[in-house]
Structure 1
């Protein structure tokens, strides 16, 4: 039975839905659409537009690995507050961040679309700049997203950077501090196992970011987003199914996953690609001070990795009851 939305919806709710619809559309189709337009223009009298952009693209090709291109005016657009209110999304501070330090933050969980990571760290919709004055946030994304013309410029304006060592070095080596680089540690593999109410994290064997924190002497900080996994359902894709076999194969080839997700619609609540209106609360944990070690040993990496997992567990346990997580629910690392 299809559950239709009421006819009399407040204008504010319609505006929130429109903003989130724009975000979903960008997530699902903007990269492909940009490719189509870029190539299509080459076969029209407007071919010069694609040629000129191609020259710009080539000259600017290193920018995603060099701190990207923050445009604060766009990050502070009022539309992001409407997006925040749709769910709603909130950002919680548990400790002060010293703007003279650089920070490497692990964001958990990935969820289907990492909506909490985007809203909190790539926009000012939840007031990041007010909560953490003097800190400029960056979010790492898969390199393949920066291969799409125009779309790459769109995501760079929010502070998204390529996921590679050069990006990390550029941001965390800056003198004077004040930079926060967030990495969604579980990545595409974790996205394929996302389920509402699930708290399984791909972390036990992920220690590359730990080594980078040691090499650059960046404070290591866990971030946990309660409700991130609840905004979408995912089609059954347990290991061993043909769908999971296809998704795993695609991940190996493209280093990106394709979760088949569903939520609600615009005019009805039973199915569609719009996320459910469920609260997402992102809690920023205490930073772990890290001593710079140019060539850390495996033992040093493992020790800090264990410390990080313990700090993440403590963060989860300290806040879970506030955000409707059952008392007997704990994080599962794999």
Structure 2
């Protein structure tokens, strides 16, 4: 059985035998990861453990390696075929006799869904703070630099600082930069497990690695942090090419535009959306966008999805023939406190600038979010018929299927997410 290009191999038990000689073939041109191990050990469950099997019967297997979170993702090809749980294996260290491994298991739930739980036991507090700062602290850092330049630094230092910010605001940036990809892996490794964010996929096998999908993610909240679990460096979904579309204002923020580009984000525009889908990339968007913030409230049992009039993403999905996938995140509304200005004029001005219409903060009034669990649920793909010039009736029909799919996803899983009283307002 051949694994999909994304690095996940689906099968069904809890023990993986690493008997005899383990051949490792690197598929990453940036790193020489080929190796061979003579190991009588086994990977067991979620515990990131190796168990010595001694003289027990061994099973031969081969590994294909994928670049993932500083190390690799491994697809398991069995010879002969052996059934194991859907899992991802991250090799942390490799030696001639011992290979230490960490599993990110895609556990099979009773309802048929697959769940990915990032590990939290080995998180370093210092590295986690650094990762969160790189991921979310650019706006605060830039504001601090501007204030220091105005009130603290002498003129020549202030000019140098502001000039540096302008340079990084417009300097070309590439997501293929090796150093940048290392930063992206570092952030994913240490930041996503901080909450942690758990990914639930209703029908993992419904996703074809050779197909591009449009993921419609809700809600936006102060910051759609749960969306990052779908980012390409995470590698949970069996899709080798993934982009997240974010507000274009983020890509005029020095340092943030570099970090987010390395993480696989691109400015949210119709041109980018169509281009990447046409190039075979799956794209994740937040249909409600920044405008959804205008309808947020502080009610503990209420969540808002501003999608009734948001049909552009549906039109592009039909034009490119890409299936739509509803995605909902529970718990995201609690990771930041927020305040929205009372002036409608100010809110409209901020909206024209494509900037957040609220002020938000986390721990100690900083950018560091509160450490509360989030659960991201991925629904089943909604197939569409490709049409370069869809009518409004066609768009409305598919859009209604998406809205219904999102509502069903919410109602079906809110109990599992620990939010039985939560209500979704679709406006």
* TM-score, normalised via structure 1 length: 0.76
Structure 2 Cα separation of the partners of residues 34 and 221 of structure 1: 41
Q: Deviations over 1:105-132 (max 9, x none)?
A: 11100111211113x13364xxx41x32
Where relative contact order (Cα < 8 A, 6+ residues apart) is larger, the structure is 1
Aligned length: 299
Residue 296 (structure 1) shift: 0.6
Task: Provide the aligned C-alpha RMSD in A.
Answer: 3.6
Select which of 321, 329, 336 maps to 1:225.
329
Structure 1 Cα separation of the partners of residues 317 and 219 of structure 2: 20
Equivalent residue, structure 2, for 1:101: 211
Q: Deviations over 1:294-315 (max 9, x none)?
A: 0010000000000000111111
Task: Name the stretch that deviates more: 245-254 or 277-286.
Answer: 245-254
Q: Deviations over 1:265-292 (max 9, x none)?
A: 2xxxxx6553222111111111111111
Answering whether residue 199 of structure 2 is matched by residue 91 of structure 1, we say: yes
Answering whether residue 133 of structure 2 is matched by residue 22 of structure 1, we say: yes
Preserved CA contact (<8 Å) 1:232 1:263: yes
Q: Deviations over 1:38-61 (max 9, x none)?
A: 9x9x957x97x969x959946x48
Structure that is richer in strand per residue: 2
Aligned ranges for residues 168-207 of structure 1 at < 5 Å? 168-174=273-279, 177=280, 179-192=281-294, 193=296, 195=298, 196-207=300-311
Q: 1:263 and 1:12, CA in 2 relative to 1: closer, same or farther beyond 3 A?
A: same
Task: Name the stretch that deviates more: 183-192 or 242-251.
Answer: 242-251
Answering whether residue 344 of structure 2 is matched by residue 245 of structure 1, we say: yes
Answering whether residue 417 of structure 2 is matched by residue 331 of structure 1, we say: no
Residue 82 (structure 1) shift: 2.7
SS at match of 2:415: helix
* TM-score, normalised via structure 2 length: 0.61
Task: Name the stretch that deviates more: 200-209 or 12-21.
Answer: 12-21
Q: Deviations over 1:227-249 (max 9, x none)?
A: 111212323x4xxxx62425423
Equivalent residue, structure 1, for 2:230: 121
Structure whose alpha-carbon radius of gyration is higher: 2
SS at match of 2:414: helix
SS at match of 1:152: helix
Preserved CA contact (<8 Å) 1:76 1:123: no
Structure 1 Cα separation of the partners of residues 408 and 314 of structure 2: 18
Select which of 319, 328, 331 maps to 2:413.
319
Structure 2 Cα separation of the partners of residues 36 and 153 of structure 1: 22
Structure 2 Cα separation of the partners of residues 190 and 211 of structure 1: 20
Structure that is richer in helix per residue: 1
Aligned ranges for residues 26-175 of structure 1 at < 5 Å? 26-32=137-143, 57=170, 60=172, 69=176, 72-77=181-186, 79-96=187-204, 97-118=207-228, 120-122=229-231, 124=233, 128-129=234-235, 131-174=236-279
Preserved CA contact (<8 Å) 1:111 1:194: no
Q: 1:35 and 1:69, CA in 2 relative to 1: closer, same or farther beyond 3 A?
A: farther
Select which of 298, 306, 309 maps to 2:400.
306
Equivalent residue, structure 1, for 2:354: 255
Q: 1:16 and 1:201, CA in 2 relative to 1: closer, same or farther beyond 3 A?
A: farther
Equivalent residue, structure 2, for 1:7: none
Structure 1 Cα separation of the partners of residues 258 and 351 of structure 2: 26
SS at match of 2:355: coil
Q: 1:32 and 1:159, CA in 2 relative to 1: closer, same or farther beyond 3 A?
A: farther
Structure 2 Cα separation of the partners of residues 27 and 86 of structure 1: 19
Preserved CA contact (<8 Å) 2:169 2:254: no
Structure 2 Cα separation of the partners of residues 122 and 29 of structure 1: 23
Dislocated runs of 4+, deviation >6 Å: 33-38
Structure 2 Cα separation of the partners of residues 261 and 56 of structure 1: 23
Q: 1:217 and 1:93, CA in 2 relative to 1: closer, same or farther beyond 3 A?
A: same
Q: 1:27 and 1:56, CA in 2 relative to 1: closer, same or farther beyond 3 A?
A: closer
SS at match of 1:111: coil
Residue 172 (structure 1) shift: 0.6
Structure 2 Cα separation of the partners of residues 31 and 72 of structure 1: 22
Preserved CA contact (<8 Å) 1:31 1:145: no
Select which of 358, 363, 382 maps to 1:288.
382
Equivalent residue, structure 2, for 1:3: none
Preserved CA contact (<8 Å) 2:326 2:406: yes
